[in-house]
């Protein structure tokens, strides 16, 4: 009889410990839950019963009983997070989905995302979903959609894939139509509404089926000559959310809740210019002194363009990329007698990579064979972690037996695909380079195998110290223990491997252009009379999806790509991961200066994703169906501009720094003589905010000013921030109604610095937008007085102080700082 008591005591002790761990949250939740339920019952009992006909009293009584029963179930379950399933589910569909997710949640190989409970992706622009410390991911055998699962295992099947021009690749998601909300964004909106993270974690598992099952399904599909999509992107609502039996009261609450939620403000997105509809006809593609074309400019439908020239011509100098296949690329090796001799490094690379590579350690040894000086400096812990902890044995075999040999072949084809050296896009030189997608694939394969010479030195005086790194050795680095670094790089590896898988299945046939622009003639911002253009604010969309056909901003690092090969995983790095062709820009783009920017036209998207930074997850293949232009480029144009880093809020308003940010944006927004009707709108967001320390409201206003100066419309994506979207729209609407010019805004920003930030105003307005509203409201109110009218006519209403005083209220510093 003592044994049961001891057992019972242990159980009680365990429950008490769990209660202690979460006691505060549980008690608070139960208390608030009980108050809400009691209030609902009381409202139904006292208010509704007295005001409705007697015929409805039984219905209300039934609702009250259901609410009470639901409350009792919740208290009995002792869980503050979910309600046990009801006897009467709301719909058969939801019940079926619950069963599916319950089954999947019991699988030992299931994978949790570790995000805030959302399968949608926030922007690539700001710190969208932040991790709250619940990022728990299985250490091994994770259940995810393998990037290797669709690799063809016999050459005959690959031949059929190459021969078919209409072959559809496996995809979790295809491009949505313009103006439609994507499944991911709909889930994100619901998540913001307060749904539990547990349900979304189950949805995440549902979208990542068992890897072995996927491989078996793929092999069966290959056998019949067809590869079907992996699984449709699951955009259903989070399951197991706190729900009660359906009633009209729930409908009323939901309507009121949705009424307060906005998705966009300003002009309708259909009113904005988009490519290709607004584009002018392209001239004939041909090389020039300002445009290098590495192929014969005769686009053949369904086939990659032929390289130009036909045979490899080497150029080994400081103005071109030093190619791995160059005869000048020499490497010291030991001969049979132990003596040092110089050997062609390319021959060593070919010999090494053509040997069998069976695992990640073989790959490390191969790379270090022709990078021997870095044996003690490079570590491949991240690479080993990925193939031992993140993927199972079958998937690893897929990679090393099937995909890696094709990547080796692609890399060694470099002298046949890139038959001329690529010029460097150096500072203060405007130049364009256009390559084929197949050439880019070969260049990236060489980056994967770390073959580029002179690109690993970190010294300030080294030849490429002002260029980003290009070899993938930093991507392979990691920690011997599982860490956030390993997790981030594992997701990056999935994106990279998925890209090479796609290229191996079918050679891409398009082209991509990279343009560096240096602008020397900048506007005189204080004298501009242009007024603001159309503004569209979008809360839940993303630049890459809802910004289709627009000029899409990359919130860049001055070293293009930022930390894409390292630890970074914010807006720029995410864009480079889902569009890996962007990475090749690091090969030839020198660090950007204050009056420079980089355009990339034609980069294809290959992967879908969810999350941001530590919550970023590869979410399957992506089929980019955006049309191509006459040069063979996707109608996707990305603008990379780097913002300044601010450690102090007040520094952003210094005249020289304001001018720098305006000029930087102008470099990219400027149409260079193109008619306004032919300029696509700018798709942007919180450029220079987040880690860069910029204020979103100031940056939004500055971008409105530049868009007005360049006669472009703007779509601004706030990535879930409804308040910011509302404030930007209202400010734009107000300034347009007031007829405020770009020059006027420049002067107001200077006044804000001197009269508010420097504490020299009689009224202390701490908010920039409040100050702007007050300035123009004071100007309006002063027009009723004769003296006020005369002052407004002479100064445009902008020389008066916030308190309607004369120029005497302006400090000497203000006059000095104002041009």
Q: 127-162 pLDDT, tens per residue?
A: 333 343 334 333 333 333 444 443 444 344 444 444
Could you tell me which residues come within 8 angstroms of residue 256 by beta carbon, excluding any fewer than 6 positions away?
Answer: none
Q: Is 572 a catalytic residue?
A: yes
Average pLDDT, the chain: 75
Tell whether residue 139 is among the known ligand binding residues: no
pLDDT digits (tens, 9 = 90+) for 32-55: 555 545 554 455 445 444 444 444
**Which has more confidence, 400 or 219?**
400
pLDDT at 590: 98
User: Phi-psi region for residue 805, left (φ > 0), alpha (ψ -120 to 50) or beta?
Assistant: beta
Of 43, 60, 80, which residue is a domain's last?
Answer: 80
611, pLDDT greater than 90: yes
Which one, of 237, 251, 266, lies nearest residue 541 by Cα?
A: 266
Q: Could you tell me if residue 114 is inside a domain? A: no
Of 46, 80, 114, which residue is a domain's last?
Answer: 80
Strand order from edge to edge, sheet including 431-436: 264-266, 535-538, 714-717, 682-684, 551-556, 637-642, 596-601, 511-518, 431-436, 291-293
Q: Could you tell me if residue 41 is inside a domain? A: yes
Tell me if 615 sits within 8 A of 131, measured CB to CB: yes
Q: Could you tell me if residue 760 is inside a domain? A: yes
Q: Could you tell me if residue 547 is inside a domain? A: no
Tell whether residue 374 is among the known ligand binding residues: no
Could you tell me which residues come within 8 angstroms of residue 457 by beta carbon, excluding any fewer than 6 positions away?
Answer: 463, 464, 465
pLDDT at 633: 97
Tell me if 128 sits within 8 A of 213, measured CB to CB: no
Burial code (b: 16+ CB inside 10 Å, e: under 16) for 88-97 equals: eeeeeebeeb
Indicate the helix (H) or strand (E) that contains 601: strand 596-601
Neighbours of 166 (CB within 10 A): 5
Tell whether residue 612 is among the known ligand binding residues: yes
Which one, of 3, 77, 113, 25, lies nearest residue 615 by Cα?
A: 113
CA 813 from chain centre, in angstroms, equals 42
Least confident of 32-41, 244-253, 510-519, 769-778: 244-253
**Whether the model pTM is above 0.75:** no
Q: Could you tell me if residue 405 is inside a domain? A: no
Q: Could you tell me the two tokens for 604? A: 């294809």
Q: Could you tell me the two tokens for 5? A: 């008591």
Q: Could you tell me if residue 141 is inside a domain? A: no
Q: Is 554 a catalytic residue?
A: yes
Residues 446-456, mean pLDDT to the nearest whole number: 97
Q: How many domains does the chain contain in total? A: 2
**Which has more confidence, 108 or 307?**
307
Burial code (b: 16+ CB inside 10 Å, e: under 16) for 291-312 equals: ebbbbeeebeeeebbebeeeeb
Of the listed 573, 581, 661, 755, which one is catalytic?
573
Which one, of 517, 669, 511, lies nearest residue 584 by Cα?
A: 511
> For residues 783 and 777, what is the distance between their CA atoms, to the nearest angstrom?
10
Which one, of 266, 321, 267, lies nearest residue 292 by Cα?
A: 321
> For residues 728 and 553, what is the distance between their CA atoms, to the nearest angstrom?
18
Q: Could you tell me if residue 744 is inside a domain? A: yes
pLDDT at 741: 98
Domain that includes residue 757, residue range: 740-817
Of the listed 395, 554, 709, 727, which one is catalytic?
554
pLDDT digits (tens, 9 = 90+) for 163-175: 443 333 344 444 4
Check the CA dihedral 632-670-586-479 and report its sign: negative
Of the listed 152, 572, 604, 621, which one is catalytic?
572
**Which has more confidence, 175 or 327?**
327
Q: Could you tell me if residue 357 is inside a domain? A: no
Helix, strand, or coil here: 523? coil
Q: Is 573 a catalytic residue?
A: yes
Of 80, 108, 131, which residue is a domain's last?
Answer: 80
SS3 content of the chain, % helix, strand, coil (to 5): 45, 10, 45
DSSP 767: S
> For residues 130 and 133, what is the distance between their CA atoms, to the nearest angstrom?
9
pLDDT at 262: 77
Q: Could you tell me the two tokens for 725? A: 């979207």
DSSP 294: -
**Cis status, amide bond into 294, omega within 30 of 0:** no
């Amino acid at each position: 009889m003592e044994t049961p008591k001891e057992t019972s005591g242990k159980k009680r002790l365990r429950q008490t410990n769990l209660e202690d761990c979460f006691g505060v949250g549980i008690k608070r939740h139960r208390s608030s839950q009980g108050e809400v339920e009691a209030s609902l019952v009381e409202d139904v009992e006292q208010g509704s019963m007295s005001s409705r006909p007697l015929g409805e009293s039984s219905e209300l009584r039934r609702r009250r009983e259901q609410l009470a029963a639901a409350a009792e179930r919740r208290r009995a379950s002792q869980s503050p997070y979910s309600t046990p399933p009801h006897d009467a589910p709301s719909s058969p569909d939801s019940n079926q989905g619950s069963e599916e997710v319950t089954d999947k949640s019991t699988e030992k190989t299931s994978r949790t995302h570790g995000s805030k409970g959302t399968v949608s992706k926030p922007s690539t622009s700001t710190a969208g979903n932040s991790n709250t410390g619940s990022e728990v991911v299985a250490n091994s055998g994770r259940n995810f959609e393998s990037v290797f699962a669709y690799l063809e295992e016999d050459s005959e099947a690959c031949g059929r894939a190459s021969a078919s021009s209409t072959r559809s690749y496996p995809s979790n998601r295809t491009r949505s139509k313009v103006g439609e909300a994507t499944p991911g964004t709909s889930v994100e909106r619901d998540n913001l509404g307060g749904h539990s993270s547990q349900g979304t974690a189950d949805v995440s598992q549902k979208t990542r089926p068992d890897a072995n099952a996927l491989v078996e399904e793929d092999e069966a599909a290959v056998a019949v000559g067809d590869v079907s999509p992996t699984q449709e992107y699951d955009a259903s609502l989070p399951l197991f959310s706190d729900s009660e039996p359906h009633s009209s009261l729930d409908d009323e609450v939901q309507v009121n809740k949705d009424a307060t939620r906005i998705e966009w403000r300003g002009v309708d997105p259909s009113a904005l210019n988009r490519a290709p509809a607004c584009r002018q006809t392209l001239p004939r593609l041909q090389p020039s002194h300002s445009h290098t074309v590495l192929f014969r400019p005769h686009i053949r439908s369904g086939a990659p363009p032929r390289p130009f020239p036909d045979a490899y011509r080497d150029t080994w100098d400081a103005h071109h990329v030093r190619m791995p296949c160059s005869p000048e690329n020499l490497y010291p090796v030991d001969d049979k007698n132990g003596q040092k001799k110089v050997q062609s490094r390319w021959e060593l690379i070919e010999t090494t990579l053509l040997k069998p590579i069976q695992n990640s350690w073989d790959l490390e040894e191969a790379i270090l064979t022709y990078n021997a000086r870095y044996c003690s400096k490079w570590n491949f812990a991240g690479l080993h972690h990925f193939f031992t902890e993140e993927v199972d044995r079958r998937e690893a075999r897929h990679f090393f037996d099937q995909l890696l040999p094709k990547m080796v072949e692609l890399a060694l084809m470099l002298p046949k695909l890139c038959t001329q050296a690529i010029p460097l896009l150096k500072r203060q030189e405007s130049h364009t380079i256009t390559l084929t997608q197949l050439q880019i694939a070969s260049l990236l394969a060489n980056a994967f195998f770390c073959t580029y010479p002179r690109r690993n030195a970190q010294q300030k005086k080294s030849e490429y110290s002002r260029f980003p790194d290009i070899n993938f050795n930093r991507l392979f680095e990691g920690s011997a223990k599982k860490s956030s670094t390993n997790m981030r790089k594992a997701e990056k590896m999935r994106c990279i491997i998925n890209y090479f898988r796609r290229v191996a299945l079918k050679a891409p046939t398009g082209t991509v252009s990279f343009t560096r622009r240096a602008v020397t003639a900048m506007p005189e911002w204080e004298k501009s009379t242009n007024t603001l253009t159309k503004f569209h604010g979008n809360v839940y969309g993303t630049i890459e999806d809802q910004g289709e056909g627009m000029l899409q901003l990359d919130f860049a690092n001055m070293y293009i790509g930022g930390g894409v090969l390292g630890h970074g995983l914010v807006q720029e790095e995410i864009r480079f991961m889902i569009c890996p062709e962007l990475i090749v820009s690091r090969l030839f783009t020198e660090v950007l200066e204050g009056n420079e920017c980089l355009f990339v036209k034609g980069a294809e998207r290959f992967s879908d994703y969810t999350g941001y930074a530590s919550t970023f997850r590869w979410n399957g293949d992506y089929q980019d169906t955006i049309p191509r232009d006459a040069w063979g480029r996707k109608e996707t144009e990305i603008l990379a501009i780097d913002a300044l880093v601010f450690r102090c809020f007040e520094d952003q308003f210094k005249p020289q720094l304001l001018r720098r940010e305006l000029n930087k944006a102008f470099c990219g927004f400027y149409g260079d003589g193109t008619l306004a009707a032919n300029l696509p709108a700018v798709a942007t967001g919180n450029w220079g905010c987040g880690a860069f320390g910029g204020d979103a409201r100031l940056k939004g206003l500055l971008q409105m000013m530049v868009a007005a100066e360049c006669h472009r419309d703007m779509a601004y994506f706030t990535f879930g921030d409804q308040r910011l979207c509302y404030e930007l729209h209202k400010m734009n609407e107000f300034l347009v109604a007031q007829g405020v010019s770009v020059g006027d805004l420049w002067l107001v920003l200077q006044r804000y610095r001197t009269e508010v930030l420097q504490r020299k105003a009689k009224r202390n307005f701490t908010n920039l937008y409040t100050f702007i509203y007050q300035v123009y409201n004071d100007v309006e109110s002063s027009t009723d007085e004769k003296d006020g009218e005369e002052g407004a006519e002479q100064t445009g209403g902008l020389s008066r102080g916030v308190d309607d005083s004369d120029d005497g209220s302006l400090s000497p510093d203000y006059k000095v700082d104002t041009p």
